[in-house]
Structure 1
C-alpha cells in the first residue's frame, strides 16, 4: 500500500473518531481497533480504513499488527486514544478496578507500541502518539486522583518511547488536553462547563496529525491543550 498506515485505538467515537477522519483526509489509511467491530457502522470507505476486533483490556496487539503487516506491508504510526475515566478514590481497596484502569490507559498503549516497534523502525519516521490528559500533568481534585495516577503513567510512557526509538527515527508525543467536548469530557465536567466552550475533538485531531507529520528534526514531546485558565496550562 502506498498510503501511510496508522493503527488507532478508540477510533469509533470522540477524539479518536475525529483523528481517524483527519488522518483519512490527509491521505492515511487507518486500521481502527474496536471491541465490537460488527456493531460499528462508521461510514468509512474500505480504501481508507478498516475496523478490527480489539479490546484494550484484553490484549491481542501482536495479532492486530501481524494482520496489518500481512495486508498492507507496513506500519507508520500508532495512536493510542482508547481510555477510560474512573472517579474512585485513590485509596480504594478495589484493586481489580485500579488494574482495569491501568490496563486500558497505560498497559495497552505500551503493548501496542511494542508490537509495532520493529515496523516503526523500518519506517524510518515512525510515530507514536499517546492521548494523555492535563490530568497527567497535575492532579486537579480528589475526584480525579485515580485517573491522574494512570494518565501520569501514560505521559511517562510517551517520553520513554521517545527515548527508546530516537536513533531509529521514531518520535513519540503525549497529547494532553483538558476538557474536550466528548462524552467523557461532559461527564467529567458534571454540567459545570458547556460543551461549546470546551476544546472541540476535531481540533485535538488536527493538532495530533500535525505532530505526527512533523519531520524527525522537530520532535514534540508533549502538547498541552486547554479551554480554560488553569495555572500554567
Structure 2
C-alpha cells in the first residue's frame, strides 16, 4: 500500500524481543535498513540474523538507553552504517510489577529512567540526524496502561507511559518546523514473551476482556507504526493510536456479557 519507506534508515530500541523485534522485522520487510538496538549484543545479533536471512538489511548495536553517551553512540552507529537516521522507534521499556506500599524508590526510578528518561535521551541523540532527513519520523511505544487505563502493580509503569504522551505533544510542536512528526502507538494486551510468562489463566482473562476475543499481535502494532513512518502520514503528528481490539471500550463487564448474549 505504501511505497515511501524503501531505503529509509530506522533505529528500533528494545528490539531483541516482543514488540521491538516485531517492529524491526516489519520495517526491514518493507525495505528499510534497521539498526537493531538491545542491551545485549548477542540478542541484537539474533534479530539481525533473522532480517538478513530474509534478505533484509540490518546491523546490531548494544546500548543502555538510560545512558546519554550510549544513546549518542547508537545514533553515530546508525549514521555510519546507513548514512543518516530517518525513523526512530523509541520502543525500549520495562514493566516490573510492584504495588504501592512495597514499591521502592529504586523500583520507581528504574521504570521512569528506562521508559521516560530513555525516550528523552534516545530522541535527543537522534535529533540532528532526523532534522537532516527528508521526512524525519519519531514513533514512541506507549501503552493504554497509564494514559487510559490502570492495573494494580503498574503505577510507575503507567506514569511513565502517560509521561511519554506528554513529551510527545510538546516534541511534536517543537520539531514541526523540520517536518519531523512525533506519534505514539498505544498497545493493549499484545501476545509477547513477557505476556506469556504471566500464565494461561491471566491470558484467558485478558482475552475475555477484549471485544474481539483475542490478544493483539506484534504485527498489529508494527503495522500501525509503519503508517506513522510513511511520507503519506506527513500531516499526522502529536497523536497516540490505540491498538487494543476494543479493550478500552466496554463501560463494564456487563457490556461484554451483553455482547456475548446477543452476537
CA RMSD in angstroms comes to: 2.4
Q: Which residue of 1 aligns with 2:206?
A: 193
Counterpart-to-counterpart distance in 2, 1:176 and 1:38: 28
**In structure 2, what is the Cα distance between the partners aligned to 1:90 and 1:106?**
20
1:207 matched to which residue of 2? 224
Quote the offset at 1:216 in angstroms.
2.1
Aligned residue for 2:237?
Answer: 219
In the alignment, the residues of structure 2 paired with residue 89 and residue 163 of structure 1 have an alpha-carbon distance, to the nearest angstrom, of 35
TM-score, normalised with respect to structure 1: 0.89
The answer to whether the 8 Å contact 1:139/1:145 transfers is: no
TM-score, normalized by length of structure 2?
A: 0.80
What are the residue-to-residue correspondences of 1:106-117 with 2, within 5 Å?
106-117=116-127
Q: 2-side partners of 1:167 and 1:89: how far apart? A: 42
Distance 1:19 1:3, change over 3 A: same
Match of 1:54 in 2: 63
Q: What residue ranges of structure 1 are gaps of 5+ in the alignment?
A: none
Deviations 1:119-138 (A, max 9, x none): 11111310101100001322
SS of alignment partner, residue 119 of structure 1: helix
Q: Counterpart in 1 of 2:150? A: 140
Indicate which of 8, 12, 19 corresponds to 2:12. 8
Write the distance in 2 (CA, Å) between the matches of 1:200 and 1:75: 27
Contact between 2:28 and 2:56, CA under 8 Å: does it hold in 1?
Answer: no
In the alignment, the residues of structure 2 paired with residue 122 and residue 14 of structure 1 have an alpha-carbon distance, to the nearest angstrom, of 30
Q: Specify the alignment match of 2:141 in structure 1.
A: 131
Query: Is 1:84 the counterpart of 2:94 in the alignment?
Result: yes
The aligned counterpart of 2:111 is: 101
**In structure 1, C-alpha distance between the alignment counterparts of 2:154 and 2:104, rounded to whole Å:** 16
CA distance in 2, matches of 1:57, 1:220: 24
Number of aligned positions between the proteins:
232
Q: Which moved more, 1:153-162 or 1:189-198?
A: 189-198
Larger deviation, residues 119-128 vs 213-222? 213-222
Deviation of residue 83 (structure 1)? Answer: 1.0
> Which shifted more, 178-187 or 116-125?
178-187
Larger Rg: 2
Q: Match of 2:258?
A: none
Residue 34, structure 1, aligned to residue 56, structure 2: no
Relative to structure 1, is the Cα distance of residues 121 and 185 closer, same or farther in structure 2, using a 3 angstrom cutoff? same
CA distance in 2, matches of 1:49, 1:99: 32
1:229–1:62 Cα change, 3 Å? closer
8 Å CA contact 2:11, 2:85 repeated in 1: yes
State how far apart, in whole Å, the 1-side matches of 2:41 and 2:243 are: 30
Partner of 2:259: none
What CA distance in whole angstroms lies between the structure 2 residues aligned with 1:220 and 1:188?
32
